[in-house]
Amino acid sequence: MRVLSGIQPTGRFHWGNYFGAIRQYIDLQHNEQAFYFIADLHALTTIRDPQHLRDYTQYAALDLLALGLDPSHATLFVQSDIPEVTELTWLLMTVTQMHLLEKCHAYKDKRAKGLPADAGLFTYPVLMAADILLYDSDVVPVGSDQVQHVEVTRDVAQRFNTIFNKEVFVLPNARTLDESAKVPGVDGEKMSKSYNNTVDLFEPENKLRKKLMSIKTDSTPVEEAKNPDTCSVFALYKLFSSPERQSELAARYRAGGMGYGEAKQELFEIAWQFFAEARTRREKLAADPSTLRDILKDGAERARRKAAEVLDRARKACGLYGRIKAAPK
């Protein structure tokens, strides 16, 4: 089973990214083969500052490796290092029907709000289809909001196979990520960069403590009992703690005599410890940029070997010559 997923470098990864997706990517890396990529081409639809894109791409690679992505098990690479993906995107565009893209939610939402939508956003699902099909992916772990794009990928792949009467592409299946663990932001709403309410994975210690102490709570006095089930601080604490520790803190909530400041301190301490090993690995990797470059270079080479195989099938199916190898130097 080949697993593939990508993550956009549109900012620093936060707790919502980790518990909603990254943790599950790492759990899936021990399949027969897993491909994970940093989707910098997709990020161009929103990021217009080139230095920000370069920085966020590097940060994404450092974070994924620090959090446990193992390049000896999974292939990690940067999307733009695979030129085959843009060529396959064009081949798929020639068979993709407009009405299919007009139904996609990102484009529809912008149009409904009267916001400008460029061609990159409109054709985004085709690039995503190329990302998936280029590696003969069997399983694509995605959030519920991305399942539609995997369905579009299947539609486009089936249409290409039918038009050219060849089974060129493997039809992938979406695996919906477990989103049962709600990750609230510091304002109590869902943690999201768009709400500016995130807690970054590798915040400096003082900044992390200050941010957690700012979490929005109600005005229940210290001496009164509190409901842990309606408290964002407790919801975040549950992400990091064992059932036993959750029960202990919940009992302190209900007994009264504990202020929210104490609960926030408990959250800070357990979260700081939870990412301690990953923080150490990240610092070591960041101090050794040549190792990071080598990992991404090796990942791109492995990805390109598979990509070239699939692209060659697609080119031949529609009547183009096979890929011409570069002339020897």
Q: Is 190 a catalytic residue?
A: yes
Q: What is the pLDDT of residues 36-57, one digit of tens each?
A: 999 999 999 999 999 999 999 9
Q: What are phi and psi of 138, to 5 degrees?
A: -90, -40
Token duo for residue 222: 């210290």
Q: What are phi and psi of 2, to 5 degrees?
A: -105, 125
Each of the 329 residues of the chain gets a pLDDT tens digit; together they read: 899 999 999 999 999 999 999 999 999 998 768 999 999 999 999 999 999 999 999 999 999 999 999 999 999 999 999 999 999 999 999 999 999 999 888 888 877 777 778 899 899 999 999 999 999 999 999 888 889 999 999 999 999 999 999 999 999 999 988 766 679 999 999 999 989 999 999 999 999 999 999 999 999 999 999 999 999 999 999 999 999 999 999 999 999 999 999 999 999 999 999 999 999 999 999 999 999 999 999 999 999 999 999 999 999 999 998 666 654 44
Strand order in the sheet with 2-7: 74-78, 33-38, 2-7, 139-142, 173-176
Rounded Cα distance, 183 and 86, in Å: 35
Predicted TM-score of the model (pTM): 0.92
Determine which one of 103, 108, 166, 190 is catalytic: 190
Q: Which domains does the chain have, with CATH numbers?
A: 2-182+289-317 (3.40.50.620), 203-274 (1.10.240.10)
Q: Is 238 a catalytic residue?
A: no
CA angle 43, 202, 268 (to 5 degrees): 135
Rounded Cα distance, 127 and 134, in Å: 10
Tell me how crowded residue 290 is: count the other CB atoms within 10 A of its CB: 7
pLDDT for 108: 82
Determine which one of 193, 211, 216, 316 is catalytic: 193
Class of residue 162 by CB neighbours under 10 A (exposed 0-12, middle 13-18, buried 19+): exposed
Determine which one of 110, 182, 216, 316 is catalytic: 110
Q: Is 297 a catalytic residue?
A: no
pLDDT for 81: 98
Phi-psi region for residue 68, left (φ > 0), alpha (ψ -120 to 50) or beta? left
